[in-house]
Structure 1
Amino acid sequence: MSPGLAGKKWFYPGLWLLIVIVFLGTELRRHSNIGASITSDSTHDTLDNITSSVADKIKAVPDYYDMLTGANEDAAKKNNTLKTADITTSIKAAIIIETRRSAAVIPLLLHFCSVLGPDWPVVVYTSAENFGSFTTSEALLRYQAGDSVLCSNSARSVEDFFEWDLIGAPISPQWGAGYNGGLSLRRRSTMLRVLQEYDWSKNPHPRPEDQWYFFRFNDLMNKDVEETGDSKIKLPSMEIARTFAVETIDYPSPLGLHQPTRWFPADRRMTSLDEWCPEYKLARTDRINE
């Protein structure tokens, strides 16, 4: 067979094979694009579902959602604003009247600020001042710098004792009566009433300031009862007072301590106080001469 006839014999089969290859290639590319489109659409749908789900969960917490989206800028600003005390408007204040030069004042000042929190004004007086200088603070937490501490482990807070006109560590009968003033909570209006109706110079007994106020509070209560049949002045029992603070009468878990290095034996200080109120180590050991 001549070469010309042989080439003509394979021409048409080759042409058909080329057409089939082109057709199959075209179909394959078309189906691949469709599959890719389906996969892409499915992926987008899945991502949309996930995004919507997360968004719904975030929206379920309105404050958090508003803060993230800026929908409530005032609320966000409020959340980011640190609340601080203002002595001119606060109904409560912690005060130190300390005339001694002492390096213990600053550590104790920081300690009380930390335990009380930022909404408590803390004021330091280096000379005796009248309680009338406080125009709005009705609840006054008075403490001596150096020998009074608050126990941060306590479940109670100073606010839990606001109902009482005067409260402090109960004094053991062998040392007197009433509540120790070294760490005490006092109602300003009742203190001012005492100062208006009684003169220390004319009635200086008992001599300790805290016991003098305790007896004058009782005098006012008796006077109110005689005149009106009742009194608004409230003084706690010794059982309640020792939950506020401890000095000469013990309690296992008080809110505060007064002169712990003086009244607690060394063996006890190394056990329960180390666990319950390690702040006692801030207390100084020297005493005020009275």
Structure 2
Amino acid sequence: MSKLALLIEARPSPHIVPLVLHMMSVVPRDWRFLMIGSQQSVGLVARAHAIQHQQKRGKIDFQIIPSLLVTQDEDHVSRLLTDPKFYESLPGVEWMLRYESDSILCANSPKGLDEFLDSDWTSLGSIDITHLSGSGGLSLRRISAIRRILSFQQRTNNSEPEDEWFMKRLRILPGRAIVPGPSKPGLVSDHEQLVKPMGYHVPLDGDLLDSPLWRDAESRQNILDYCPELSMILDMKLERERCPPEMKQDWAFKA
């Protein structure tokens, strides 16, 4: 059974190339990579010499979806990931790491990705009745469990995000194993600090990070010391752009 790291990104963001190369360096060697995107985003990444080298080695493949526009809403991605035909195009793949342009794995993590292969879904999220976020932006998924759900369930377009949709059904599926969060260390740290997390998911380049943890300069620096590559996906500021020291809430990031 093969393992696949999947990135779906239509925007030609300049940090995608270093992000993909970093992810290749921190996951086990037997993981392959697939980027699905627009003509612009795939063209940007595929032109990089380091990426071309990895493509020749069979490490990464690309797929262009014409309907995946730069301005496409998130529901288009949810439709793709809840379409049984999509998984038919991934024969032999049993584990899928889904990451986005605003998520990253930390090289300093004491845990390895393969340590979570016993679960069907590993990510940040609560599986109680009130909150069913699957934090799909950085999640490890067992494809056989996904296929089982899609064999008898169909998602309604323009409804809840695909990760929440899957999590609700995985929760009640007999014999399923889910590693949620943030109550226990796991794959993702999303708005909450976990003890040496495997990675971080910071939606919209960190613009949605409004917790006291991220507002506190010392806590934020501790996170960046542990996971310096996090700065790759954050909308950071230069030192000279820092807020005045008398401000109670220090939002500026060192660069």
Instruction: Normalising by structure 1, report the TM-score.
Output: 0.57
CA contact (8 A) 2:134 2:167 kept: yes
Structure 1 position 214, deviation (Å) = 0.3
> Equivalent residue of 1:121, what SS?
strand
Specify the SS of the correspondent of 2:96.
strand
Is residue 2:143 matched to residue 1:196? no
Q: What's the offset of the Cα at 1:184? A: 0.2
Structure 2 CA distance, aligned partners of 1:177 and 1:95? 22
SS of the residue corresponding to residue 201 of structure 1 reads: coil
Structure 2 counterpart of 1:200, which letter? R
Q: Which residue of 1 is the match for residue 226 of structure 2?
A: 276
Aligned partner letter, 1:195: L
Alignment of 1:100-115 (within 5 A): 100-115=11-26
Mapped to 1, the partners of 2:127 and 2:151 lie a distance apart of 29
Q: Percent identity?
A: 27
For structure 2, the residue ranges without an aligned partner over 5 or more in a row are 38-64, 66-76, 81-85, 237-255
Work out whether residues 105 and 199 of structure 2, in 8 Å CA contact, stay in contact via their aligned partners in 1. Answer: yes
Secondary structure of 1:247 counterpart: coil
Quote the residue 1:226 is aligned against. Answer: none
Counterpart for residue 124 of structure 2: 169
Query: Do residues 119 (structure 1) and 26 (structure 2) align?
Result: no
Code of the aligned partner of 2:96: L
Report what 1:214 is aligned to.
167
Q: What RMSD in Å do the two structures reach over aligned CA positions?
A: 2.8
Q: Displacement, 1:166? A: 0.8
Closer/same/farther in 2, CA of residues 118 and 141 from structure 1, 3 Å limit: same
- Per-residue CA shift, 1:92-118, capped at 9, x if unaligned? 111111122222221111110111143
Q: Secondary structure at the match of 1:109?
A: helix
**Counterparts in 2 of 1:157 and 1:272: CA distance versus 1, 3 Å:** same
Match of 2:104 in 1: 149
1:158 equivalent among 96, 109, 113: 113
Give yes or no for contact 2:108–2:227 (8 Å, CA) kept in 1: yes
- Residue number in structure 2 paired with 1:44: none
Contact persistence 1:131–1:192 (CA under 8 A): yes
For these two proteins, the number of residue pairs brought into alignment is: 184
* 8 A Cα contact 1:96 1:143, kept in partner: yes
- Amino acid aligned to 1:104: H
Checking the alignment, whether the CA contact within 8 Å between 1:156 and 1:255 is kept in structure 2 is yes
> What amino acid is aligned across from residue 132 of structure 1 in structure 2?
E
Partners of 1:280 and 1:234 in 2: CA distance: 29
The runs of 4+ residues in structure 1 deviating greater than 4 Å are none
Give the SS at the match of 2:123. Answer: strand
TM-score by length of 2: 0.64
Residue in structure 2 matched with residue 135 of structure 1 by the alignment: 91
2:190 aligns to what? 247
**Distance change (3 Å), C-alpha of 1:151 and 1:169:** same
TM-superposed deviation, 1:172: 10
Please identify the structure whose Cα radius of gyration is greater: 1
Deviations 1:178-230 (A, max 9, x none): 4200000001011112222111128x65x1221111002124x1xxxxxxxxx
Hey, what does 2:47 align to over in structure 1? none
Q: What is the distance in 1 between the residues matched to 2:107 and 2:201?
A: 15
Preserved CA contact (<8 Å) 1:142 1:184? yes
Greater percentage in helix: 1
